[in-house]
Structure 1
Amino acid sequence: MEGLRIAALVAATISTGLAAGVFGLYAHTIMPGLGRTDDRTFVAAFQSIDRAIMNPWFLGGSFFGALLFTILAMIAHVGRPAMPWIVAALVLYAITFVITIAINVPLNDAIKAAGDPDGIDLAAVRERFDEARWRSWNIVRVIASTTAFGLLTWALTLTGRSS
């Protein structure tokens, strides 16, 4: 049982770190880079990036994995010193998850649904996308998921000390 407890916490920590890294990369590299491009480049590149991120590595390995593994780690650590830290991490990652599903994904889906960049009003599509809103909520995801990663790292430390 101890091996499964630790494995769940390690998996939660790694997957949450990966998700935080993706959101961070969008915040400091992808969106600032795209923000400096013309409308056609922005729409086409964002559509392509969003299609590419819909893959098992991101979805299973980090985005959904972080939530599921953290739930498993919490269950496995009931009554243990690391549990409050895992619960706090779960709350923060759940916030990240909800923001993604409620705000970022609908904006992503709308820009993809706009169609081929060669046949649409690119300025209107980009304006409806609302980069400022997407970026602002992404910063919240970065802060929440990175903090969750830190809390899980601390939970690993506590677990190592009590083993």
Structure 2
Amino acid sequence: MGLMAGLFFAFDVSVMPGLAKGDDRTYATAMQNINAVIDGSGPFALVFIGALVLTAWAAFRALRKGRRETGWWLLAATLCYAAALLLTVGINIPLNNKLADLGHPGPSTDYSVIEDFKGTWETANIFRTLLCLTALGGIVRALLLHGRATARTDIG
């Protein structure tokens, strides 16, 4: 979860502002290249899906073992990350696909899709960052609760 929050945050504070300082052709080319690398990355896919699966699994296990408070925090984290995934699938990926449809950006390419990135894609990414950070906070809270419960059983 921390890796996903960090990735989204890096786009918010460095990648997108840096690209915005260039021209539309550079912006389009760079984003096409970034998306191609991310789409073809096994480690990225593992972390992208793994954050959801592992957090949901941890919530299920905690609730099943009767650690309700820990489980509810993990379930809340799972739901926050699921919302980030919905934003990704509903907004970011379709815009990435529109950008890919430009093909190789040339001097005569229509760059109107870039305005969607500068507005919609970037705003959705900020929300993905906030949702991932909230999920990470829920996981940290669950870990603290789990640690306290474990410490009590070790003492008793």
Structure-2-length-normalised TM-score: 0.88
The aligned amino acid for 2:78 is L
Question: 2:43 is aligned with what amino acid?
Answer: W
Aligned residue for 1:93?
A: 81
Match of 1:59 in 2: 45
For 2:124, the equivalent position in structure 1 comes to 137
Q: Which digits, 9 at most, give the CA deviation of each residue in 1:29-66, with x for residues without a partner?
A: 111111111011000000001111121111112x1111
Matches within 5 A, 1:97-136: 97-118=85-106, 121-127=109-115, 129-136=116-123
| Deviation (angstroms), 1:71 | 1.1
- Residue number in structure 1 paired with 2:143: 156
Report the counterpart of residue 154 of structure 2 in structure 1: none
- Quick check: 1:39–1:122 contact (8 Å CA) kept in 2? no
2:8 to 23, 36, 41: 23
1:114–1:120 CA contact under 8 A, matched in 2: no
Sequence identity of aligned pairs in percent?
36
C-alpha contact 1:40 1:122 (8 A) present in aligned 2: no
Q: Which runs of 5+ in 2 are unaligned?
A: 151-156
Given the two structures, how large is their TM-score scaled by the length of structure 1? 0.84
Distance 1:66 1:131 in 2: 27
Secondary structure of 1:82 counterpart: helix
Contact persistence 1:92–1:145 (CA under 8 A): yes
Shift of 1:126: 2.2
Q: Quick one: distance in 2 between partners of 1:98 and 1:120?
A: 34
What CA RMSD, in Å, does the superposition of the two structures yield over aligned residues?
A: 1.4
Task: Name which one, 1 or 2, has greater alpha-carbon Rg.
Answer: 2
